[in-house]
Structure 1
Amino acid sequence: MDSQQSPHDLTSASGKAEEVADKSTAIIAYITLVGLIIAFVMNNEKKQPFASFHIRQSLGIVLTGVALGFINIIPFLGWVISLLGILVLIVLWILGLMSAIQGQEKTLPVVGKHFQEWFKSI
């Protein structure tokens, strides 16, 4: 009836807590621009690889959305490109969020590898 935990149990418990915090930060990154900023600040002190991965993916989605906003200024052709681009971004956002919820580091189709490369300092 030993009530003490072994050091291995404590390590796994703290590791599990860090994993949950890491996953939470990754999920928050996909929830609006404010969520991305909060996740960035949360991850700034102690760089968590999983959270950093998803912050880079989310930042890429947001910046692509801003670029599409500028393209939307162009009459007709810009509107069509922007509309199609926003629909693609919504799909990418859902894929990224689902990947974070499942605890996986799946890059987004087509652009995910570029986001990881461009924002590797985050």
Structure 2
Amino acid sequence: MEQKIIEEGKTAAITSYILIIGFLIALSMNSETKNEYATFHIRQGLGLSLTFIGLGLIISNFENIMIAAPMWI
């Protein structure tokens, strides 16, 4: 991948890892340019966010507060 493509998509790529809000911001930043570097990181950020939320919902169903609380702190 060319260095120019990486430099152009770096801001959207970094922003995409800020949970769901960052994903939405990065998606709107990349909507016109369609930078492939940023698109890859946007997909990765969405996957990580959904995994984190899914695991949080599963873990929060445990009755023991010592297990459930650290996930959300």
Q: How far, CA to CA, are the matches of 2:12 and 2:55 in structure 1?
A: 26
**Gapped regions of structure 2 (runs ≥ 5):** none
Q: CA offsets per residue over residues 49-105 of structure 1, 9 Å max, x none?
A: 10011111110000001111210232258x749x68xxxxxxxxxxxxxxxxxxxxx
Q: Closer, same or farther in 2 for the Cα pair 1:45/1:61, shift >3 Å?
A: same
Q: How far, CA to CA, are the matches of 1:59 and 1:52 in structure 2?
A: 11
- Indicate whether 1:44 and 2:31 are aligned: yes
Could you tell me which residue of structure 2 aligns to residue 66 of structure 1? 53
Q: How far, CA to CA, are the matches of 2:18 and 2:53 in structure 1?
A: 16
**Gapped regions of structure 1 (runs ≥ 5):** 1-14, 85-122
Do the aligned residues in 1 keep the contact of 2:16 with 2:42 (CA within 8 Å)? Answer: yes
Task: Name which one, 1 or 2, has greater alpha-carbon Rg.
Answer: 1
Return the TM-score normalized by structure 2: 0.69
Alignment of 1:2-13 (within 5 A): none
- Using the aligned pairs only, state the percent identity: 37
Superposition CA RMSD, Å: 2.8
Ranges of 4+ aligned residues in structure 1 off by more than 3 Å = 15-19
Q: How far, CA to CA, are the matches of 2:63 and 2:48 in structure 1?
A: 23
Could you tell me which residue of structure 2 aligns to residue 55 of structure 1? 42
Q: How many residues get paired?
A: 69
Could you tell me which residue of structure 2 aligns to residue 109 of structure 1? none
- Indicate whether 1:25 and 2:9 are aligned: no
1:33 partner amino acid? I
2:43 partner amino acid? R
